Chains A and B, each alone.
Chain A
Amino acid sequence: MALDSSPTPPPAGVLPMISMRGVGKSFGAHRVLQGIDLDVHAGEVVSLIGPSGSGKTTLLRCMNFLEAYDEGEVWIRGALLGYRRTPSGALAPETDRGIAEVRAPVAMVFQQFNLWPHMTVLANVTAPLTLAKGMRPDRARAVAAEALARVGMAAKADAMPGELSGGQQQRVGIARALAIHPEVMLLDEPTSALDPELVDEVLEVIKSLSRDGMTMVMVTHEMSFAAEVSDRVVFMEQGRIVAADTPGRIIRHPEHPRLQAFLRPWFRRSLQGGAQAGAQA
């Protein structure tokens, strides 16, 4: 679908948080995403799963325009992301400021944490508030303290990121995202870079956020966790959405043969136990 066609925006009644229609992306000759149609509604937790190279991370990064999609359209709460419509109806690239405005309600948590190592933990959380939102320093510090407390890192406010474990750093990353009071959080494999024993503390925080009703889109390999916490699971392969449904139908009782193949190693290792593995084998 070319950029200058005009698919209809979603109905104004219940505006999805994020809306994608016909989204596609290529890196040179390599087609990474094609024909993506996806809606994420307020309060939903959506997990993106699939094999490596399936385009899950690229799809996530299109949601806050860290990747510029080539085809289709992405709306954040009804506002077009990354492009603006010219009088003739075509799409033209949006300015940096325009992009920042549209993606302001979106916050991201990165696989490699991406904390700023030369700033204290507190400074890491206040920087987006004071620099991007122009908040007053004392107010920013209060908001940051609240966010750090929410993830259990209040005691480490004056520590440097280098002094923290991976799990602690990622929790700071989550606090940094929370502090801007986002309406939707994007989590890019939040626990993939962590040692196994540190994974749980981060998953606990994410779980509690979902209980508070935070809208989240998460790329993850933690199948049990995805099944437990998600409202919807989206399975991707080779740049397309192959299946999207409840965790029950995608993870626990997959019907799609490729899904079954993808999940087989997890089934064998999962807590569902021998019976399930025996049935799938």
Chain B
Amino acid sequence: MNAATLAERLHAYLPVLLAGAAHTLMVSAVAILAGFALGAVLLGLSLARGGRGPLPALVAAYVSFFRGTPLLVQLLMMFYLPSAAGLDLPPLAVAMVAMAANSAAFQCEILRAGLSAVPAGQVEAALAFGIAPRQVFRYVQLPQVARAVWPAVVSEAIDVIKNSAIVSVIAVADLARGGRQIVAANFRPLEVYLTVGASYLLMTAAVFAAGSWLARRTGKGRALSARVVNRTAIRS
């Protein structure tokens, strides 16, 4: 079949690419959100009890492994090692778990940097006034951490979207795999992969723009007013 103009061919690619893009965004979203939650947990574990005990070292080992080895290797290990033990896991699930586990290592360190950016004097003053450590975290540290880490989190989100292309290797029907499928059928690799590349560019640009917009909206003067601090204090 001889597809006519470039425009018509591009139009024909759309269904496959859109379906792939949907998978890409889904896997990425799960990875980013689960990665954030897990990263926060990891940080909490490594800071618990003033950094004593085996937990900080365990977290450091986790972070070192997931940040120091290729994502592809982590993905392959999580996919093939269980199957050696007889477990057949669905590729999509493995992809989401692997990417979340990977992102968690990065987000743990992002959050750690954000937390240490809050001047120690402010925490000291809060404690000196008798405010309990849990409340110091919630009212003094957390609001400032959230604001400080936002650019790094947006950057990590963009990295996750780009990394998600790797899951095509274990046969997840994402955007990169959609491209391969089309190429296998119509033998126009340059055109198709350039289109795929442009699609990723669109996604990462959109995330960046959204991130910047959100930063402007929440950063500007939306301070913790006395009302908010006091009202929430009653509930706790």
Which of A's residues lie within 8 Å of B, judged by CB?
64, 66, 96, 100, 103-104, 107-108, 110, 112, 114-120, 122-123, 126-128, 130-134, 136-137, 140-141, 144, 158, 160, 176, 180
Contact = CB atoms under 8 A, between A and B. Distances in A.
20 contacts: A103-B130, A110-B125, A116-B126, A117-B122, A118-B147, A118-B223, A119-B229, A120-B224, A120-B225, A122-B225, A123-B229, A123-B230, A127-B129, A127-B131, A127-B139, A128-B130, A131-B132, A132-B131, A134-B233, A176-B129
Interface of B: 119, 121-122, 124-126, 128-133, 135, 139-140, 143-144, 147, 221, 223-231, 233-234
A12 to B, nearest CB: 26
A126 B128 contact: no
Nearest to A140: B230
A17 to B, nearest CB: 17
B121 A131 contact: no
Given A127-B139, A131-B233, A141 B226 contact: yes
Contacts of A144: 226
Contacts of B133: 96
B99 to A, nearest CB: 32
A144 B131 CA distance: 16
Nearest to B230: A137
Given A104-B130, A108-B125, A132-B130, A119 B224 contact: yes
B133 to A, nearest CB: 7
* Residue of B129, B221, B223 contacting most chain A CB atoms (<10 Å): B129
Contacts of B221: 160
Given A117-B144, A144-B226, A66 B233 contact: no
Contact of B224 (A107, A118, A133, A136): A118
Contacts of A108: 125, 128
A110 B224 CA distance: 22
B121 A126 contact: no
Given A103-B130, A136-B234, A180-B129, 12 more contacts: A96-B132, A100-B130, A110-B125, A119-B139, A123-B225, A128-B129, A130-B233, A131-B132, A132-B129, A132-B132, A140-B230, A160-B223
Contacts of A158: 225
A116 B130 contact: no
B229 A110 contact: no
Contacts of A137: 226-227, 230-231, 233-234
B224 A123 contact: yes
Contacts of B233: 127, 130-131, 134, 137
* Residue of B122, B225, B233 contacting most chain A CB atoms (<10 Å): B233
Contacts of B132: 96, 131-132
Contacts of B131: 127-128, 131-132
Contacts of A176: 129
A227 B228 CA distance: 43
A126 B124 contact: no
Contacts of B147: 118
A110 B128 CA distance: 11
Nearest to A65: B128
A107 B119 CA distance: 20
B232 to A, nearest CB: 9
Nearest to B144: A118
Contacts of A64: 128
Contact of A131 (B139, B223, B225, B227): B139
A72 B225 CA distance: 43
Nearest to B234: A137
B48 to A, nearest CB: 15
A119 B230 contact: no
A55 B125 CA distance: 20
B44 to A, nearest CB: 18
Nearest to A123: B226
Contact of B121 (A103, A110, A140): A110
B230 to A, nearest CB: 3
Contacts of B135: 131-132
A126 B122 contact: no
B221 to A, nearest CB: 8
B227 A66 contact: no
Contacts of A133: 130
Contacts of A130: 229-230, 233-234
Contacts of B140: 116
